[in-house]
Amino acid sequence: MKSTKEKICLLLAIAILGGMLGFSLLSLRTQIPAADEMIFIRITQQLPKYDSHMEWYSIDGKTDPNTYLEPSPFFDKAYNHPIWVHPPAANYLAYPIVKLLYHESSEVDIREGVLRLRWIAWAMIAFCILGAVYLVRKRDRSGKVFLLSMLPLATGYILFTQWGDNWFYHDTFMLAFLMVALLMRKTKYEKFIYIPLALMVGSKIYGVLFLIPFTIENRKTVLCSLALVPYFVQSYFVTGNFFYPIAHWLAMGSFTAGYWGSEFLYSGVLGQLRAVAENASNIILFLVIIAAPFVYITYKAIKKEISWFLPTLFAISLVIGLGWTSCYYQMLPMVVIGILIVGEAAIQFKVRKEINNGSLLPRRQMSTLQ
């Protein structure tokens, strides 16, 4: 029989989980369509063509944004491309969904179509959150660990408050494939892990970074990075430059803190530092909650009591979430992986406490008994 305290922890954890899933759905359903989200949808509509146009920034897909916003070279540089600057795996996977649920016969149809597609985006986000919860609960069924692992999710609520963010977009597909790979890891299905990892990389270029901890465990998974080769080959045939997308992002360095208004607000190394500080201040409560568990499991990895997989994975999510733009959707991996970080830290602390109390043998002794 579970104690009263365990039951309370379990109920609180379920309440946080259910509340955040409901809040995220409400946010996705009530937020206005986002510019990059509209471009992703319109590029998907026209496959196999893969160019992009700044007019697609507008809700009607036809109006030059310079005519109703303060004129700036940003729109041309960011959105007029002979080949879109993210790999197309997510677009091809989204193609049948977009064709089925999205139409552009009127502005009302456009907005309603985006809302329908956001149901799909929410389903992917919910899958990632529930997948992380499952991985924690698979390791430890206690209510206390469950409740603690929900704290990053609770403090990450702010990610769903940015008015008009990119949810039906490359990053959501990338995160979903990352979660599929995490669920396959260390199971009998691990031999198929190359499929979701390749799709992860093919959905967003920086998915290659999330490949690093998998490659540390299994060098063969580095082959999943080859999923980018067809995209670079396509870039060469279209632009004459194999690495056109990378060149674009290097050229966009002065925009990396985001663009609001008529000028580019940051540039160079100083700009990146200011961007990190700005992004960190937006989610300061999350970072406060996650700091001690992250340091603790990093210490455990240094002591070789656990692997470097989770600390490396979370560090990569921090680099991506804090170091590029002030877009909350790019911080979502931090929250999902944060659930795993806090869960693992709580489990490790619990095990250490049981060892110190003499109710559990140290790992080395336990392994000799198995």
Instruction: Identify whether the C-beta of residue 349 lies closer than 8 Å to the C-beta of residue 145.
Output: no
pLDDT at 42 over 80: yes
pLDDT at 360 over 90: no
pLDDT at 219 over 70: yes
Which tens digits make up the pLDDT trace of 348-357?
Answer: 988 777 777 6
> How far apart, in whole angstroms, are the C-alpha atoms of residue 169 and residue 360?
47
Instruction: Identify whether the C-beta of residue 100 lies closer than 8 Å to the C-beta of residue 49.
Output: no
pLDDT value for 323: 77
Using a pLDDT cut of 90, give the percent of the chain over it: 66
Instruction: Identify whether the C-beta of residue 41 lies closer than 8 Å to the C-beta of residue 98.
Output: yes
pLDDT band at 271 (very low <50, low <70, confident <90, very high): low
pTM: 0.89
Q: Would you state the structure tokens that stand for residue 168, as one six-digit string?
A: 């039906």
Which tens digits make up the pLDDT trace of 124-146?
Answer: 999 999 999 999 999 998 999 99
pLDDT band at 161 (very low <50, low <70, confident <90, very high): confident
> How far apart, in whole angstroms, are the C-alpha atoms of residue 301 and residue 146?
22
Torsion of CA 105, 110, 115, 119, to 10 degrees: 60
User: Which sign does the torsion angle of CA 332, 337, 340, 342 carry?
Assistant: negative
pLDDT band at 262 (very low <50, low <70, confident <90, very high): very low
pLDDT value for 257: 43
Domain chopping of the chain, boundaries: 4-369
